[in-house]
Every structure is written in structure tokens, then in C-alpha cells.
Amino acid sequence: MNYRIGITAIAATLLSHFCSAQNISAANETFQPAASNQPGKPYPQVNNKGIVRVSISAPLANKVQLDIGGKKYDLAKDDKGVWTGECLPQDEGFHYYQLIIDGAAIPDPSSRYFYGAGRLGSGIEIPAHDEEFYALKDVPHGLISENIYYSTITKAWRRCFVYAPAAYYNNNTTRFPVLYLQHGSFEDETGWATQGKANLILDNLIAQQKAKPMLIVMDNGYAYTPSDKTTPTPGKQPPSIFEEVLIKEVIPMIDTRFRTIANKDNRAIAGLSMGANQTMRIVMNNLDKFSYYGGFSGTSNYPDSSTIDPHTFLGGKFSNGASVNKQLKVLWLGLGTREPVPFPASVGAFRTMLDKQGIKHVYYESPKTAHEWLTWRRSLYQFAPLLFR
């Protein structure tokens, strides 16, 4: 018994040192300020191993931790009251994080703030080996405009952001196709333009002539009737009223305010996670309005059972494979190779059903990424070149 207690104590001590934000990186590792920092702020920093180093002055605090990647790491305090420490290596791409000071979770004042996890908070860019496709380059750049509108359906003011490619401003006669692109759970219409870098991805693709110039409309997927203002719980799809808002209000508004090619063959819809589920239902209910669909890390609309009955799934919309193939020019699905359950299982079951029905689809896996923005950036990069061809 004493032997077991001793081993347990040693293991606990080692684990404490392992999870501490102290001394994780080698002494000769070079850290650089993260690209996501507020201007002029030296922290947080990241090195070529993906290790994040944070620092904050909190002289009266008793305990400070870094919360990132689902783990917490203790920071160490110096004689000036500055807490500093590191985490274990993180995957490439963008990650939300926060600091915990004496039990209170706060944003890092040195980081830019991003809306995710239902709040404005800290985010950090871990350099990716393939980041060139969303890098800011010397190419013609489009513009993102904020479009405010009053929804008579929700009885509330709403907004969407619209990316227009550089070619949109070259003359005032050319018309463009439109991609409607949705965010994920507990994010909003700012996500694709900030965390997702959708505008830079399209700028670079268009400059390389890999994608057609197109408009991208990014709206808020949370839409409620005036009597329903309840915030949905994580993993739950918002009320389907968003479909009504998009079809009856947003699309007509975009076709009026912008020079669009307002027909089915020049309209696509896609989304990530919750947005993939929303847009799957929308596209199958409105096949007269869309010819392209992209689902990035979808879940609940792709059941996690091993078998799917196409005659009952989504009202039997997939029961006629030939009809789906005729109406959808591209049905595209993407996942990260490190996605947690139930994502691979549910998407796998959905793909099995598509294969049995003879429904053509494109499938992509983002290497070494999970349910995170690099997965979705890569998905957009792979999906956009297939549109409007």
C-alpha cells in the first residue's frame, strides 16, 4: 500500500510539473509576438513548435492560469508581480484562449478580441505551414461592407457582411454570383471575415485565377421570432426561422443592393458546424434557389447512427439520387482529421447514405486539424474553386 501511495505521489508531482506553464520550451527556442496581438504588444508569443507564452501583470493575484486547447497551465509570478508561462504545443491555426486569475476567466488584454464561444475573448494565431493561402499579399483586394437591415420577420435590426471582389469595382455593369456563408455555434456574422479570413482566401484564389470572382454574404445564423429570445444551448440548432429570414429577406435584399446574377445556377450556400447543419436543411428545402452546397464539419443534420433511411432523413429529400445529382452541381463535405466524436461518425454515416443513393459528392479532410478555424479555412479554400464553373 505504501509503495502504491509513493508511486501515486511521484506521478502527481510529475504531472504537476508537466502541466505547469513553466519550463515547457527549450531555452534556445525563439518566440515571436503572435500575429493576433494588439498593436505593439509583445505577448502572447509563439514559437516554431506551437508553444504559446503569455504574460500579464497581476501583483495582487494568488494564482494565474492560461486556458487553451481544453487544458489549463499555471503561470509563475516574478518579484514585480508579472505572471509568465507557457503551454504545450498547439495545433497550427487559430485558437481561442483565456486567462484565469484567481478563478475568474478574463480575456488577455494583449490579444485582439474575437467573438467566439458566445463572448468576445482572446484568440491566437499559431503559424501554419500552408498559411500562404490566407496570407495578406500584394494582390487586388476586395471590400467587406456592413449591411444593416430591419427584419420584419424577427421584428429586429440585423446585419450581414458582404465581401465583394476587387473586380466588382472595376466597372458598374458586371454582375457576380453569390456564396452565402454561415458561421458556427456561438459565433456570429463577424467570424468568417475575422477568424476565417474568407476575404483573403478569395482575394488570393481569384488573383491566381483558381476561383471565379464572387460575392460572399455572411449573416447571423441566430434568428428568432419576437416571442423567442432564448439563447440555444451548445450543440443545438437555432430555430429554423433563420431559413425564412435568409430566403425571404436576405437574398432579395442582396439581389437589390448588389449587382448579382440572381438565379439558382449562380447561387451557393455553405457553413461550418452549426452553419453546415443549417445550410444543409436550407439547400434541400430550396433546391430551386441554390446549385452548390458546402458542409464544413457538420453534425446534427448528419445522424451519428450507422444507417440512415433516405426516405425519412430530411423529409426524404435524398430518396431520389438522380434528382439530387441533377439539381446540385456540387455537394461538398469537409472535416479535420482530428475532429472529435461525433463528427467523423455522423459525416461518415451521411456519406454512406449518399453512396448508396448514388449521389455524387466531394469529400475533403484537413490534415492534423480538429474542430477549428484552420479546418474551415482550408475547406473554403478547397470549396470555392469548384463554384460557378
Domain assignment present for residue 366? The answer is yes
Predicted local confidence at residue 226, as pLDDT: 83
- Kindly state the helix (H) or strand (E) to which residue 54 belongs, with its residue range: strand 52-57
Closest CA to 29 of 7, 3, 47: 47
Regarding whether 369 and 252 lie in a shared domain, the answer is: yes
pLDDT tens for each residue of 180-207: 999 999 999 999 999 999 999 999 999 9
Contact (Cβ atoms closer than 8 angstroms) between residue 316 and residue 303: no
What's the whole-number mean pLDDT along residues 256-281?
A: 97
Regarding whether 227 and 136 lie in a shared domain, the answer is: yes
Contact (Cβ atoms closer than 8 angstroms) between residue 217 and residue 182: no
Q: Which domain holds residue 50?
A: 18-127
Can the peptide bond before residue 44 be classed as cis, meaning omega within 30 degrees of 0? Answer: yes
Domain assignment present for residue 12? The answer is no
- Kindly state the helix (H) or strand (E) to which residue 193 belongs, with its residue range: helix 191-194
Regarding whether 262 and 153 lie in a shared domain, the answer is: yes
Regarding whether 336 and 354 lie in a shared domain, the answer is: yes
Regarding whether 156 and 106 lie in a shared domain, the answer is: no
Predicted local confidence at residue 143, as pLDDT: 98
Please tell me the distance from the alpha carbon of residue 215 to that of residue 235, in angstroms, as a whole number.
29
Domain assignment present for residue 13? The answer is no
Domain assignment present for residue 7? The answer is no
Regarding whether 104 and 236 lie in a shared domain, the answer is: no
Domain assignment present for residue 84? The answer is yes
CATH number at residue 257: 3.40.50.1820
pLDDT tens for each residue of 173-186: 999 999 999 999 99
Considering 102, 127, 152, which residue would you say is the last residue of a domain? 127
Regarding whether 246 and 107 lie in a shared domain, the answer is: no
Considering 104, 127, 150, which residue would you say is the last residue of a domain? 127
The domain total for the chain is: 2
Please tell me the distance from the alpha carbon of residue 53 to that of residue 67, in angstroms, as a whole number.
12
**Residues 96, 101, 103: CA angle, nearest 5 degrees:** 95
Regarding whether 289 and 272 lie in a shared domain, the answer is: yes
Regarding whether 240 and 102 lie in a shared domain, the answer is: no
Cell output for 74: 499555471
CATH number at residue 86: 2.60.40.10
Regarding whether 206 and 192 lie in a shared domain, the answer is: yes
Alpha carbon 113 to its chain's center: 15
Please tell me the distance from the alpha carbon of residue 346 to that of residue 299, in angstroms, as a whole number.
6
Regarding whether 224 and 95 lie in a shared domain, the answer is: no
Predicted local confidence at residue 50, as pLDDT: 96
Domain assignment present for residue 348? The answer is yes
Contact (Cβ atoms closer than 8 angstroms) between residue 24 and residue 86: yes
Regarding whether 348 and 252 lie in a shared domain, the answer is: yes
Domain assignment present for residue 66? The answer is yes
Considering 127, 142, 171, which residue would you say is the last residue of a domain? 127
Query: Sorting pLDDT into bands at 50, 70 and 90, what band is 300?
Result: low
Domain assignment present for residue 6? The answer is no
Closest CA to 98 of 127, 131, 75: 75
The overall average pLDDT reported for the chain is 91
pLDDT tens for each residue of 110-168: 999 999 989 999 999 999 999 999 999 999 999 999 999 999 999 999 999 999 999 99
Q: Residue 258: is its pLDDT beyond 90?
A: yes
